[in-house]
Structure 1
Amino acid sequence: MSSEKRIVICGGGAIGAAIAWFLSRRGARPVVVERHEVGGAASGKSGGFLALDWCRGSALDRLARRSFALHASLAEELGNPWGYRRLTTFAGEAAEGRPAHGTRGRPWLSPGVTLTGQIGSTETTALVEPRAFTTGLMRAAEANGAELRHGTVTGLLKTTSGAIGGVTLGSGETVEGDGVVVAMGPWSILASRWLPLPAVYGFKGHSLVFRTGDAVPAEALFLEYEEAGGETLTPEIFARADGTVWACAVSSTAALPVDPADVAGDDGAHERLEALCRAVSPALAAAPIVARQACFRPVTEDGLPLIGAVPGVANAWVATGHSVWGMLNAPATGEAMAELILDGATSHVPLRHFAPGRMQAFAGLR
């Protein structure tokens, strides 16, 4: 089934790009409006880690399993310009200045790191380079007829019936459409001025990208690291297909700036992360740092994303609040949103757990 519907998508992150791709392959005409750059926030700075079954037992399980499969098929279908690769994933522990049992056979790790178990295989864990994934999916959508517009959404257009019929931009322009999707990550909270949406918050994380070449194999490490002062950090270290390694730790509840371009690291956060990385890996100790990054991932009150129709407002949808699983769940979210918009229902993943109206007290009840 095809559709000529013109759908305006506010936000050019992984979720917005995925919605645009799945709409465009059905013949719809999505228009993505992005004020900063495609993949310019968490969708370009996250780890890009994918897991098949790490959400088992939760409301996210079916979404995650479907999305894990879609990641593999998208990489095959679109030529894998984003370095999709399968990983072996380990848990480990270390303490600053205190040697442990060692990591026999893994010279990229220091003797002070103890691997406590394998927690993922090449059948269950994988990785993408997030900025390449987001921009690649956006380019694929454009090749299908999607449009990318640069601008800041300042309001919504309404038809005489009260349905949403497009957006207004800060430039004074309007972008008309048959409906609007809010997919602005933590900045989706700005849309609560126009729509009755639950609150979305930003939780800040810091990361480093090292240029390691082939010194680190296709592995991921989830570590518990005790600093000399007694605080425990939980760094995540992922080896990418492009010869880089991404590492993160040190989160905070810093205030979300209004403009994504203004996101900056907390004082001392990157230095603290760098010292940790140099301590746990001789490969990282010898590698240059090619990026020092900070980003905000979107979270909701109950920890579940908002995916679905905005209650009480025709032709308005929202897709945000994916927290740490945004890159994993982008494809299945995009597929489900395209089905919901074009067919009125989803066929692969039920969205009842993620309905925007599930919270009794959402912003807009005024």
Structure 2
Amino acid sequence: MSNSPETGNQRRKEVVVCGGGVIGVCTAYFLAKNGAIVTVIEQSSIACAASGKAGGFLALDWCDGGPVSSLARASFNLHRSLSDELDGASSYGYRPLTTLSVSIDESQSGPSGRAKDVPSWIDGPVKEWKPIGTAQTTAQVHPQLFTRCLMTTAVENYGAKVVIGKVEKVGFTAGDDGGRVESVVLEDGRVIKADSVVLAVGPWSSKLGIVSSLFRVYGLKAHSIVLEPKDPDAITPHALFLSYYSAQGGKPMDPEVYPRPTGEVYICGMSTTEEVPDDPEQVVPNLESIRVLKQVARNVSTHLEGEAQVKAEQACFLPCTDDGNPVIGELPGMKGCFVATGHSCWGILNGPATGAALAELIMDGQASIVDLRSFCPARFVAPSRR
């Protein structure tokens, strides 16, 4: 990617990134690092929504066999490089993990069918288990710390700015081809000029007419709790993907458990499709979903019951598309207006490669780190309208 300082008659590109989640922040980071003048507009605060409440699980090859494979592999490796660059182990909890598939059955009276090398803290009614990821293929970050670390670095090292405000519209110059981006207008009347605009607002893409007129983005509401065990040193770095059988019967649930190097244990699941509110601060968890997650925690480990402190009960919306793939690229008929959304549960994993590729597309006219053609917004538009 070219680095383009303002020299001679060459003017640095001014880019406005709408959205302070992991996708927007990663894009802003790589744009600013490579010479753009970057302004991030966020309605509430950096990493206030899913990027502050997600699990932060990273997998090298779990998306293999589908369109997201190359994006995920590039991003997994980029996470490692960013950790080396930014001291991720200490600044935002980056570390490799062993990942296990664990079957828990509430109806069992105690642990059974458990091999001797299963981590000792997983002492609930284990039905069966197996490894599904190694320290070479799975890892984790604390997503809120990761996102805020990148934003702070972009501000302090590369001159990016953060503006708190709500986007009202994107301004375009008139033109037969649909026009070109010239500004972003905020609800309070502020106008921020721009050569390019990136719309990285996750499930709130559905609130923007220029996006919703082309394709649908809907929100999947996911719940989570964060616990602080009395003895965090007893919890080993093993991520758990559960098949959880309730004593009441029915299909198994699939919650996930992520111990963090901060001493916390994050547990998520209980997802439903719901209407996305206008403000991220209006997202509240469903009490029954939180109750179930606490019950799951108790049955996974005695370390996660009793004296374990509940640090958070929360929910967030994951941005999803009808074909299940993210949308990354320039909106058809809107020169200089780019979108990055629809990453579903893989937003934290795929944030770095999405941001790096989009920065290349904006700065150089094409992406080299990963082929974005599978994610082009024009795939939703009839050929006659492109």
Common topology (TM > 0.5): yes
Look up the SS of the partner of 1:92 in the other structure. strand
- Residue 361 of structure 1 and its aligned partner are, at CA, apart by 6.5
Is 1:101–1:111's contact at 8 Å kept on the other side of the alignment?
no
User: TM (normalized to structure 1)?
Assistant: 0.96
Q: Which residue in 1 is equivalent to 2:288?
A: 268
Aligned residues: 363
Is 2:92–2:141's contact at 8 Å kept on the other side of the alignment?
yes
Is 1:103–1:111's contact at 8 Å kept on the other side of the alignment?
no
Q: Which residue in 2 is equivalent to 1:246?
A: 266
Q: Which residue in 1 is equivalent to 2:140?
A: 127
The letter of the residue matching 1:126 is A
Is 2:230 the partner of 1:216? Answer: no
Deviations 1:120-174 (A, max 9, x none): 0000000000000111111111121111000000011112442111211111111
- Residue 223 of structure 1 and its aligned partner are, at CA, apart by 0.6
5+ long unaligned stretches in structure 2: 5-11
In the alignment, the residues of structure 2 paired with residue 10 and residue 257 of structure 1 have an alpha-carbon distance, to the nearest angstrom, of 17
The letter of the residue matching 2:376 is A
Match of 2:106 among 93, 96, 118: 96
In the alignment, the residues of structure 1 paired with residue 211 and residue 200 of structure 2 have an alpha-carbon distance, to the nearest angstrom, of 14
- Residue 229 of structure 1 and its aligned partner are, at CA, apart by 2.1
Structure 1 window deviating more from structure 2 (327-336 vs 94-103): it is 94-103
Look up the SS of the partner of 1:77 in the other structure. helix
Q: Which residue in 2 is equivalent to 1:154?
A: 168
Deviations 1:22-60 (A, max 9, x none): 001101011100001110000000000000000111111
In the alignment, the residues of structure 2 paired with residue 341 and residue 114 of structure 1 have an alpha-carbon distance, to the nearest angstrom, of 51
Structure 1 window deviating more from structure 2 (226-235 vs 38-47): it is 226-235
- Residue 303 of structure 1 and its aligned partner are, at CA, apart by 0.2
Question: In the superposition, relative to structure 1, how do residues 59 and 115 fare at CA in structure 2: closer, same or farther (>3 Å)?
Answer: same
Question: In the superposition, relative to structure 1, how do residues 68 and 56 fare at CA in structure 2: closer, same or farther (>3 Å)?
Answer: same
Is 2:258–2:267's contact at 8 Å kept on the other side of the alignment?
yes
User: TM (normalized to structure 2)?
Assistant: 0.91
Q: CA RMSD in A?
A: 1.6
Q: Which residue in 1 is equivalent to 2:9?
A: none
In the alignment, the residues of structure 2 paired with residue 356 and residue 173 of structure 1 have an alpha-carbon distance, to the nearest angstrom, of 28
- 5 Å-filtered alignment, 1:1-366, equals 1-3=2-4, 4-80=12-88, 81-98=91-108, 99=110, 100-102=112-114, 104-105=116-117, 106-143=119-156, 144-161=158-175, 162-193=179-210, 196-212=213-229, 213-231=232-250, 232-285=252-305, 286-360=307-381
- Residue 266 of structure 1 and its aligned partner are, at CA, apart by 1.4
- Identity, % of aligned positions: 44
Is 1:198–1:361's contact at 8 Å kept on the other side of the alignment?
no
Question: In the superposition, relative to structure 1, how do residues 194 and 119 fare at CA in structure 2: closer, same or farther (>3 Å)?
Answer: closer
- Residue 196 of structure 1 and its aligned partner are, at CA, apart by 4.4
Is 2:361–2:367's contact at 8 Å kept on the other side of the alignment?
yes
Structure 1 window deviating more from structure 2 (298-307 vs 286-295): it is 286-295
In the alignment, the residues of structure 2 paired with residue 267 and residue 197 of structure 1 have an alpha-carbon distance, to the nearest angstrom, of 35
Deviations 1:262-314 (A, max 9, x none): 00011311011101111111111142111111000000000000000101110
In the alignment, the residues of structure 1 paired with residue 183 and residue 304 of structure 2 have an alpha-carbon distance, to the nearest angstrom, of 48
In the alignment, the residues of structure 2 paired with residue 319 and residue 215 of structure 1 have an alpha-carbon distance, to the nearest angstrom, of 40
Look up the SS of the partner of 2:338 in the other structure. strand
